[in-house]
Amino acid sequence: MSKEQMLKELADAVVAGNKDLAVELSNKALEKGIDPYEAIVNGLAKGMEIVSDNYEKGTAFVPHLLIASNAMYGGMDVLSPHMKKVEGAAEPSTVVIGTVQGDVHDIGKNLVKTMMTAGGLNLIDLGHDVPLEKFVETAKEHHADVISMSALMTTTMVGMEKVIEMLQEEGLRDSMIVMVGGAPISEEFAEQIGADKTAPDAMHASHWVKDAVSELSPSEDRWSAAKINLAKVKYRDILSKKKVKSKTDIGLETAKQIIEEFESVGVKTKEEMSHAERTVSAMADKKVDRLPVYPLACGVLRKFANASYKEYATDPAKFAESAFLGAKYLDLDMFVGLIDLSATSADFGCTIKYPEDDTPSSEGHLEDYDKLEVPEVKEGTRAYELIKASKLAKDKLNKELGTPFVGFHEGPLLTLTQLMGADRVLMDMKTNPDAVLEGVQKCTDYICQVSEVFFEEDACDALCIDNLWSNNVIMSEEDYWKFDGKFIFDQHLPIFKKYDQPYMIHSCADAVHYDTQIKKFGTGLFSYAYYEKSKDKGSQNYADLIPKYGDTCCMMGEVDPIKFIDNSPEGIQSIENDTDDLLKGVLETLKENGMQSKYVMSTGCEIPPGGPLSGVKAMVDKVKELGPQYQKEIIG
Ligand code: B1M
């Protein structure tokens, strides 16, 4: 086999995600005397670039990227120890990578790591939920060339700025490149916090960093005491000019303002219908005074009860109090009982981290699919506590406010990924599908029990299930059906039929598999996100969705939840403008399609639970202000 052919086969093994073959071919390449560096760069890494490119084009999905990366690492383990140190050649640049404190999303960060490794960089992976000081300490310890930080939530992106400030304080900012990224990170944000660059995806991140490190001055120079002392002086000024950021709890602060206003003026508008009448009528496309409104404010409402997130998620009385006070002071048309997404997985025995005032998350994942034991929903399980909490909330909301309560719990595949680790399960779908199917079956058995107890205990007016992984970018429709949809269709939906309940889905994502999840399931309500920038990857808005699915399903979206973190007058104005546009657009589309009310004004996903409440109030008030007038003008 010629060298070119060998390199191509190495690349193909990575594209196929075949780790054994990549290892075998890497050994053969060594035997044939092919330079290991060339085998990595022009063989393994080339394959990774091809898969990554297919992902960007929408023809490959996350599980495929993960098995390709596994194959690449397998080959690299064989080849790397044989790379000769060329006299005088520079060491590979060192990148300290991680997802910032408070943020457990790590799939994108892992892909960035893979592509940077494929680009020949030396990666030190700190993992997810990384304490901010750890980035600085590790960079110092290794005289790093780059810090690469990811954040997937608006509430955690502020951590990136803090890391940069720490580097400035210690005079280290100019010693390395700082790159930031993740879905909410824009060019403007990166510039504003003093980062060097962001990139939209892993491939661009790796390409940019590779070029940028080649421009850096020698490490000894950048890390010299003289340079550090100079930088300390330079940034002292900049830091002292920065406003001293107040440590006020913005959620609590805004909750207090809303309570004060409520207590002085009460509910501003007297409306024709009760919350329940309006919501139930809209779901059935009957006449309403205005469309119902419920920005998905869940954990953030705990501020009205002055509860920590831990209390909101684990103490039924605090949960019910948060839901009740939030629905009362904001005058919501419904409340959805979404807590952290680890309640059902916790009951299988994985370890959950419960920070006092941040969303709990699953850690300490379990190892073996065949050893999973289906728990029983009973006193003391997290699922049962959630049902108890929901029952308390439902009774209070119904009785005192006439507001419907929608129960919420995780679907089968979400439970399994929380239990075993997302990357692991997504990869095993390709390499060990039978084991994953066994795991999904056990999770289905559990979540079916949980839904039954919700209905038996009369703990909700309706029940919404998180179908997290149903995203065009993450998983193909075929895989979604195989590893989640089919289980829901065959086993979970019949429970809803038995109790004569509509199936409700929350997806946490845009670009989902609507044909399966709405048409095939016959879903009654679907909470979806829409992002203009993902339109070419399948994100759809009300104008696409109402004509296609309006006959079956009441859609619920699509003001961007990320906007709710901005408490400035401009930020609030922007939420009001989006609400106004959405309200008008939805009503016009309903009218064109012979409908009148089948839509809930909402946000694509949960309002960040660490943010302010003013945006939530602004959105609700706008719908109350304009809704009745538009309803008359447009629907008649
Ligand atoms: Co969560 N989640 N989640 N979630 N989740 C999001 C991020 C959210 C946007 C959903 C939504 O609103 N539509 C939302 C945040 C909203 C906001 O910020 N305002 C959200 C929320 C609210 C939450 C919880 C709070 C929900 C709850 O518990 N109540 C909770 C937070 C827990 C915590 O972090 N403390 C939570 C939990 C989870 C799971 C654990 C269940 C799971 C993560 C599993 C895991 O990662 N191990 C999860 C998931 C999967 C998502 C969505 C659906 C998908 C994220 C993902 O993996 N995308 C997400 C919705 C969405 O983004 N559509 C959502 C695929 C991945 C390949 O893309 O990570 O963007 P991404 O990486 C890309 C680029 O961004 C870029 O390259 C990557 C690949 O090319 N990139 C960089 C990434 N890092 C980069 C660095 C760079 C450059 C480019 O330079 C350094």
Other Cβ atoms closer than 10 A to 83: 14
| CB 64 within 8 Å of CB 55 | yes
**pLDDT tens-place string over residues 620-629:** 999 999 999 9
**Atom 45 of ligand 1 has which residue's CA nearest to it?**
105
Grade residue 269 by pLDDT with cuts at 50, 70 and 90. low
Q: According to the model, what pLDDT value does residue 118 have?
A: 86
**pLDDT tens-place string over residues 395-415:** 999 999 999 999 999 999 999
| CB 289 within 8 Å of CB 272 | yes
Grade residue 1 by pLDDT with cuts at 50, 70 and 90. confident
Q: Please tell me if the CB atom of residue 604 comes closer than 6 angstroms to any atom of ligand 1.
A: yes
Query: Residue 245: pLDDT above 70?
Result: no
Q: According to the model, what pLDDT value does residue 79 have?
A: 93
Q: Please tell me if the CB atom of residue 106 comes closer than 6 angstroms to any atom of ligand 1.
A: yes
**pLDDT tens-place string over residues 315-348:** 999 999 999 999 999 999 999 999 999 999 999 9
**pLDDT tens-place string over residues 492-532:** 999 999 999 999 999 888 888 999 999 999 999 999 999 88
Grade residue 270 by pLDDT with cuts at 50, 70 and 90. confident
Tokens at residue 55, please?
Answer: 């992902």
Grade residue 185 by pLDDT with cuts at 50, 70 and 90. very high
**DSSP, residue by residue, 571-617:** HHHHHHHHHHHHHHHHHHHHHHTT-SS-EEEEESSPPPTTS-SHHHH
| Substitution site in 57, 64, 105, 603 for ligand 1 pocket (most atoms within 8 Å of beta carbon) | 105
Average pLDDT for 195-208: 93
Ligand 1: centre distance to CA 156 (Å) = 11
Q: According to the model, what pLDDT value does residue 268 have?
A: 59
**Atom 61 of ligand 1 has which residue's CA nearest to it?**
509
Alpha-carbon gap, residue 404 to 390, rounded angstroms: 11
Ligand 1: centre distance to CA 220 (Å) = 37
C-alpha dihedral sign at 513, 519, 525, 531: positive
| CB 205 within 8 Å of CB 181 | yes
Q: Which ligand 1 atom sits nearest the alpha carbon of residue 341?
A: 28
Grade residue 246 by pLDDT with cuts at 50, 70 and 90. low
Q: Which ligand 1 atom sits nearest the alpha carbon of residue 507?
A: 53
Q: According to the model, what pLDDT value does residue 267 have?
A: 65
| CB 153 within 8 Å of CB 83 | no
